Amino acid sequence: MNEAEKSKMLVGKEAAKYVKDGMKVGLGSGSTAYWMVKSLGERVQEGLSIVGVPTSAQTEKWAQEFGVPTTNLSEVSALDITIDGADEVDQNLQLIKGGGGALLREKMVAIAAKKLLIIVDQSKVVDHLGSYPLPLEVTPFGWELTAKRIAALGQEPIIRLNGKEYYLTDNGNYILDCKFGKITQPEKLHEQLIQIVGVVETGLFINMTDTVIVGNQGEISVLEKK
Protein backbone atom coordinates (compact mmCIF):
# COMPACT_ATOMS: atom_id res chain seq x y z
CA MET A 1 0.00 0.00 0.00
CA ASN A 2 1.46 3.43 -0.95
CA GLU A 3 1.64 6.44 1.42
CA ALA A 4 -1.49 8.12 0.02
CA GLU A 5 -3.51 4.94 0.45
CA LYS A 6 -2.19 4.51 4.02
CA SER A 7 -3.32 8.08 4.80
CA LYS A 8 -6.75 7.36 3.36
CA MET A 9 -7.05 4.28 5.55
CA LEU A 10 -5.90 6.23 8.61
CA VAL A 11 -8.39 9.08 8.19
CA GLY A 12 -11.20 6.69 7.27
CA LYS A 13 -10.67 4.78 10.52
CA GLU A 14 -10.36 8.00 12.52
CA ALA A 15 -13.59 9.39 11.06
CA ALA A 16 -15.49 6.26 12.03
CA LYS A 17 -14.74 7.13 15.68
CA TYR A 18 -16.96 10.24 15.36
CA VAL A 19 -19.98 7.98 14.87
CA LYS A 20 -21.93 7.14 18.01
CA ASP A 21 -24.65 4.64 18.77
CA GLY A 22 -28.03 5.49 17.27
CA MET A 23 -26.67 7.95 14.70
CA LYS A 24 -27.93 8.42 11.17
CA VAL A 25 -24.83 8.75 9.01
CA GLY A 26 -24.31 10.08 5.50
CA LEU A 27 -21.84 7.76 3.78
CA GLY A 28 -19.63 9.56 1.26
CA SER A 29 -18.13 8.20 -1.95
CA GLY A 30 -14.63 7.53 -3.21
CA SER A 31 -11.53 5.63 -2.19
CA THR A 32 -11.11 7.47 1.14
CA ALA A 33 -14.76 7.03 2.11
CA TYR A 34 -14.28 3.32 1.37
CA TRP A 35 -12.10 2.98 4.48
CA MET A 36 -14.62 4.84 6.61
CA VAL A 37 -17.44 2.51 5.47
CA LYS A 38 -15.22 -0.51 6.13
CA SER A 39 -14.35 0.74 9.63
CA LEU A 40 -18.01 1.44 10.38
CA GLY A 41 -18.78 -2.11 9.27
CA GLU A 42 -16.26 -3.42 11.81
CA ARG A 43 -17.85 -1.30 14.55
CA VAL A 44 -21.32 -2.54 13.56
CA GLN A 45 -20.07 -6.12 13.93
CA GLU A 46 -18.96 -5.13 17.45
CA GLY A 47 -22.46 -3.90 18.31
CA LEU A 48 -22.70 -0.28 17.10
CA SER A 49 -26.27 0.48 16.01
CA ILE A 50 -26.43 2.99 13.15
CA VAL A 51 -28.09 3.53 9.83
CA GLY A 52 -26.25 4.94 6.82
CA VAL A 53 -27.42 6.92 3.81
CA PRO A 54 -25.08 6.12 0.89
CA THR A 55 -24.19 8.85 -1.59
CA SER A 56 -23.64 6.50 -4.51
CA ALA A 57 -24.50 3.04 -5.80
CA GLN A 58 -20.86 2.04 -5.19
CA THR A 59 -20.99 3.12 -1.54
CA GLU A 60 -24.27 1.27 -1.12
CA LYS A 61 -22.51 -1.88 -2.35
CA TRP A 62 -19.65 -1.36 0.12
CA ALA A 63 -22.13 -0.80 2.97
CA GLN A 64 -23.84 -4.08 2.11
CA GLU A 65 -20.49 -5.85 1.84
CA PHE A 66 -19.32 -4.60 5.25
CA GLY A 67 -22.68 -5.00 7.00
CA VAL A 68 -23.61 -1.33 7.52
CA PRO A 69 -27.43 -1.03 7.50
CA THR A 70 -28.66 1.56 5.01
CA THR A 71 -31.70 3.60 4.17
CA ASN A 72 -32.26 6.45 1.72
CA LEU A 73 -32.63 10.18 2.09
CA SER A 74 -36.39 10.06 1.60
CA GLU A 75 -36.75 7.86 4.70
CA VAL A 76 -34.87 10.09 7.15
CA SER A 77 -35.61 13.69 7.98
CA ALA A 78 -32.13 14.60 9.24
CA LEU A 79 -28.71 13.02 9.60
CA ASP A 80 -26.37 13.39 12.58
CA ILE A 81 -23.20 13.41 10.53
CA THR A 82 -22.00 12.97 6.95
CA ILE A 83 -18.47 11.74 6.34
CA ASP A 84 -17.04 12.16 2.85
CA GLY A 85 -13.85 12.63 0.89
CA ALA A 86 -12.92 15.61 -1.29
CA ASP A 87 -10.77 16.43 -4.29
CA GLU A 88 -9.53 19.74 -2.88
CA VAL A 89 -9.87 21.53 0.47
CA ASP A 90 -8.82 25.17 0.80
CA GLN A 91 -7.82 27.11 3.93
CA ASN A 92 -11.45 28.16 4.55
CA LEU A 93 -12.61 24.53 4.26
CA GLN A 94 -14.29 25.17 0.91
CA LEU A 95 -14.23 22.09 -1.27
CA ILE A 96 -14.11 20.76 -4.78
CA LYS A 97 -15.88 17.42 -4.96
CA GLY A 98 -17.21 15.20 -7.70
CA GLY A 99 -14.06 13.49 -8.92
CA GLY A 100 -16.00 10.25 -8.56
CA GLY A 101 -19.10 11.75 -10.16
CA ALA A 102 -21.30 11.57 -7.04
CA LEU A 103 -21.44 15.30 -6.30
CA LEU A 104 -25.21 15.80 -6.46
CA ARG A 105 -26.07 13.04 -3.99
CA GLU A 106 -23.06 13.98 -1.89
CA LYS A 107 -24.27 17.56 -1.61
CA MET A 108 -27.84 16.53 -0.83
CA VAL A 109 -26.64 14.17 1.89
CA ALA A 110 -24.13 16.75 3.20
CA ILE A 111 -26.74 19.46 3.70
CA ALA A 112 -29.11 17.03 5.42
CA ALA A 113 -26.53 16.46 8.18
CA LYS A 114 -25.88 18.44 11.36
CA LYS A 115 -22.14 18.01 10.76
CA LEU A 116 -20.04 17.51 7.63
CA LEU A 117 -16.76 15.74 8.31
CA ILE A 118 -14.31 15.58 5.40
CA ILE A 119 -11.47 13.07 5.20
CA VAL A 120 -8.47 13.60 2.92
CA ASP A 121 -4.80 12.92 2.52
CA GLN A 122 -2.44 15.91 2.58
CA SER A 123 -2.25 16.14 -1.23
CA LYS A 124 -5.85 17.45 -1.28
CA VAL A 125 -5.14 20.47 0.96
CA VAL A 126 -4.51 23.59 -1.16
CA ASP A 127 -4.13 27.35 -0.77
CA HIS A 128 -6.66 28.03 -3.53
CA LEU A 129 -9.18 25.77 -5.21
CA GLY A 130 -8.90 25.14 -8.92
CA SER A 131 -5.91 22.97 -9.78
CA TYR A 132 -8.36 20.10 -9.80
CA PRO A 133 -10.88 20.51 -12.66
CA LEU A 134 -14.28 21.48 -11.27
CA PRO A 135 -16.94 18.83 -12.00
CA LEU A 136 -20.43 20.00 -12.96
CA GLU A 137 -23.37 17.63 -13.24
CA VAL A 138 -25.46 18.57 -16.29
CA THR A 139 -28.53 17.19 -18.02
CA PRO A 140 -27.81 15.08 -21.11
CA PHE A 141 -30.56 17.05 -22.86
CA GLY A 142 -28.89 19.94 -24.66
CA TRP A 143 -25.58 19.48 -22.83
CA GLU A 144 -23.60 20.97 -25.74
CA LEU A 145 -25.49 24.25 -25.34
CA THR A 146 -24.95 24.16 -21.56
CA ALA A 147 -21.23 23.60 -22.22
CA LYS A 148 -21.14 26.69 -24.50
CA ARG A 149 -22.73 28.82 -21.79
CA ILE A 150 -20.16 27.57 -19.28
CA ALA A 151 -17.35 28.26 -21.78
CA ALA A 152 -18.51 31.89 -21.90
CA LEU A 153 -17.29 32.15 -18.28
CA GLY A 154 -13.74 31.53 -19.44
CA GLN A 155 -12.96 27.87 -19.92
CA GLU A 156 -14.07 25.18 -22.34
CA PRO A 157 -15.49 22.30 -20.26
CA ILE A 158 -14.55 18.71 -21.06
CA ILE A 159 -17.27 16.06 -21.15
CA ARG A 160 -16.33 13.15 -18.88
CA LEU A 161 -16.00 9.81 -20.61
CA ASN A 162 -16.31 6.22 -19.49
CA GLY A 163 -14.32 4.43 -22.17
CA LYS A 164 -15.86 5.54 -25.45
CA GLU A 165 -19.23 6.42 -23.87
CA TYR A 166 -20.18 9.55 -21.96
CA TYR A 167 -19.85 8.96 -18.22
CA LEU A 168 -23.31 8.68 -16.62
CA THR A 169 -23.93 9.66 -12.99
CA ASP A 170 -26.18 7.60 -10.70
CA ASN A 171 -28.85 10.17 -11.61
CA GLY A 172 -28.49 9.56 -15.35
CA ASN A 173 -26.72 12.87 -15.98
CA TYR A 174 -23.38 13.82 -17.56
CA ILE A 175 -20.34 15.43 -15.95
CA LEU A 176 -18.48 18.40 -17.43
CA ASP A 177 -14.99 18.93 -15.99
CA CYS A 178 -13.97 22.59 -16.03
CA LYS A 179 -10.40 23.85 -15.70
CA PHE A 180 -11.06 27.33 -14.36
CA GLY A 181 -7.57 27.59 -12.89
CA LYS A 182 -7.14 29.39 -9.57
CA ILE A 183 -10.63 29.99 -8.12
CA THR A 184 -10.39 33.12 -5.98
CA GLN A 185 -14.14 33.52 -5.34
CA PRO A 186 -15.63 30.02 -5.11
CA GLU A 187 -19.00 31.21 -3.82
CA LYS A 188 -19.40 33.64 -6.73
CA LEU A 189 -18.35 31.03 -9.27
CA HIS A 190 -20.85 28.54 -7.84
CA GLU A 191 -23.63 31.16 -8.08
CA GLN A 192 -22.75 31.94 -11.71
CA LEU A 193 -22.66 28.28 -12.71
CA ILE A 194 -25.79 27.13 -10.91
CA GLN A 195 -27.79 29.81 -12.72
CA ILE A 196 -27.01 28.25 -16.09
CA VAL A 197 -30.03 26.21 -17.11
CA GLY A 198 -28.93 22.62 -17.62
CA VAL A 199 -26.40 22.71 -14.77
CA VAL A 200 -27.87 20.41 -12.13
CA GLU A 201 -25.18 20.95 -9.48
CA THR A 202 -21.61 22.12 -9.11
CA GLY A 203 -18.76 20.40 -7.28
CA LEU A 204 -18.13 23.53 -5.18
CA PHE A 205 -19.14 22.79 -1.59
CA ILE A 206 -19.25 26.22 -0.01
CA ASN A 207 -19.59 26.92 3.74
CA MET A 208 -20.70 23.36 4.44
CA THR A 209 -17.71 21.73 6.10
CA ASP A 210 -17.35 21.64 9.88
CA THR A 211 -14.22 19.51 10.26
CA VAL A 212 -11.50 18.11 8.01
CA ILE A 213 -9.30 15.20 9.06
CA VAL A 214 -6.03 15.21 7.13
CA GLY A 215 -3.71 12.23 6.92
CA ASN A 216 -0.02 12.68 6.20
CA GLN A 217 2.75 10.08 6.54
CA GLY A 218 1.03 8.22 9.36
CA GLU A 219 0.04 11.41 11.22
CA ILE A 220 -3.40 12.97 11.57
CA SER A 221 -4.25 16.66 11.83
CA VAL A 222 -7.70 18.20 12.24
CA LEU A 223 -8.88 21.45 10.66
CA GLU A 224 -11.98 23.06 12.21
CA LYS A 225 -14.35 25.68 10.80
CA LYS A 226 -13.26 29.14 12.05
The residues annotated as belonging to the active site are 106
Provide the mask over 72-101, with x wherever binding to ligand 5RP is found by CB under 6 A and - wherever it is not: ------------xxxx---------xxxxx
Nearer to ligand 5RP (CB atom), residue 46 or residue 161: 161
CA-wise closest residue to 56 among 98, 99, 106, 8: 106
In three-state secondary structure terms, 12 is: helix
CA-wise closest residue to 110 among 85, 134, 144: 85
Number of Cβ atoms within 10 Å of the Cβ of 69: 11
Q: How far is the CB of 220 from ligand 5RP (least distance, A)?
A: 16
Q: How far is the CB of 47 from ligand 5RP (least distance, A)?
A: 28
Inter-CA distances, 134 with 36, 101, 176, Å: 24, 11, 8
Q: Is 190 in the site for ligand 5RP (CB under 6 A)?
A: no
- Cα 139 from Cα 169, distance rounded (Å): 10
Q: What is the DSSP letter of 222?
A: E
Q: How far is the CB of 133 from ligand 5RP (least distance, A)?
A: 11
- Cα 41 from Cα 25, distance rounded (Å): 12
> For residues 137-155, b (16+ Cβ closer than 10 Å) or e, as one string?
bbeeeebeebbeebeeeee
Nearer to ligand 5RP (CB atom), residue 34 or residue 143: 34
Q: Is 150 in the site for ligand 5RP (CB under 6 A)?
A: no
Nearer to ligand 5RP (CB atom), residue 45 or residue 221: 221
Nearer to ligand 5RP (CB atom), residue 145 or residue 158: 158
Q: How far is the CB of 22 from ligand 5RP (least distance, A)?
A: 26
CA atoms within 13 A on the CB side of 173: 21
Position among 88, 106, 177, 201 found at the interface with ligand 5RP (CB under 6 A): 106
Position among 7, 15, 30, 36 found at the interface with ligand 5RP (CB under 6 A): 30
Nearer to ligand 5RP (CB atom), residue 89 or residue 150: 89
Position among 103, 138, 150, 214 found at the interface with ligand 5RP (CB under 6 A): 103
Position among 15, 24, 32, 199 found at the interface with ligand 5RP (CB under 6 A): 32
Q: What's the longest Cα–Cα distance across the chain?
A: 54
- The residues of the shown chain that bind ligand 5RP, judged by CB under 6 A, are 28-32, 84-87, 97-103, 106
